[in-house]
Chain A
Amino acid sequence: MSELLDVRQISGGYQKNKPVLHNVSFSVHPNEMVGLIGLNGAGKSTTIKHILGLMEPHEGQVRILGKTMAENKTDYRQNLAYIPETPLLYEEMTLWEHLELTAMAYGLEKEVFEVRANRLLKEFRMTKMAKWFPSHFSKGMRQKVMIMSAFLIRPSIYIADEPFVGLDPIGIKSFLDRMLELREEGCGILMSTHILATAEKYCDRFLFLHQGKIILQGTMDELQAQAKMPGADLDDIYVEMTKEDRHD
Chain B
Amino acid sequence: MTNAELWDKRRSDYWTMAVRYLRLIGNSGFLFTIYLLFVFGSYYYGQFLQWLPETFPAVIFFTLVFTWLTTRGRVRTFFKQGDLIFLTPLEGKLSAYIRSSIRYSWMMETFWLTLSMLILAPLFFDRLSETGTSFILILLLLSGLKLWNLAAGFEEQRVLDRKQYTNHTFLRAGLNAVAVYALFSQQPWWLFAFIAGALIIFYIGYYRAIARTYSLKWERLVEIENQTVMTFYRVANSFTDVPSLKSKIRFRRWLNPLYNLVSFEQKNVYKYMFARSFFRANDYFGIFLRLTIIGGLFISIVELDWGRWLVAALFAYMTALQIETLKNHYDTSQMVDLYPLQTENKQAGHKFWIVFLGIIQSLIFGITASLTYGAGQGLIILALSLAVYSYHLMVRLPKKYETLSRS
Contact = CB atoms under 8 A, between A and B. Distances in A.
Interface of A: 52, 54, 73-78, 80, 82, 84, 88, 90-93, 97, 100-101, 103-107, 110, 113, 133, 135
Contact of B269 (A80, A82, A92, A104): A104
A104 B273 CA distance: 11
B340 A90 contact: no
26 contacts: A74-B341, A75-B340, A77-B338, A77-B339, A82-B338, A84-B334, A88-B333, A90-B273, A90-B276, A90-B277, A90-B333, A91-B249, A91-B281, A92-B277, A100-B264, A100-B272, A101-B269, A101-B273, A103-B264, A104-B266, A105-B266, A105-B339, A105-B340, A106-B339, A107-B266, A113-B264
B338 A80 contact: yes
Contact of B280 (A52, A77, A92, A113): A92
A93 B275 CA distance: 10
Contacts, number: 63
B254 to A, nearest CB: 15
Main secondary structure of the interface of B (DSSP, over half): helix
Interface string B253-288: 000000000001110110011001100110000000
Contact of A101 (B272, B280, B281, B334): B272
A44 to B, nearest CB: 16
Q: Which of the four size classes fits the interface of chain B?
A: 20 to 34
Given A88-B333, A90-B276, A104 B338 contact: no
B335 interface: yes
Contacts of A88: 333-335
A74 B339 CA distance: 8
B223 interface: no
B8 interface: no
B74 to A, nearest CB: 25
Give me the 3 closest cross-chain CB pairs, A-B, nearest first: A77-B340, A105-B339, A92-B280
Given A77-B340, A101-B272, A105-B269, 8 more contacts: A54-B334, A74-B340, A76-B340, A90-B273, A104-B265, A104-B266, A105-B339, A106-B339
Contact of A92 (B265, B276, B337, B341): B276
Contacts of B391: none
B340 A104 contact: no
Nearest to B329: A92
B15 interface: no
Nearest to A76: B340
B272 A104 contact: yes
Contact of B268 (A76, A78, A104, A106): A104
Given A88-B334, A90-B333, A104 B281 contact: no
Nearest to B276: A92
B68 interface: no
Contact of A110 (B264, B276, B281, B340): B264
Nearest to A131: B253
Contact of A133 (B249, B264, B337, B340): B249
A104 B272 CA distance: 9
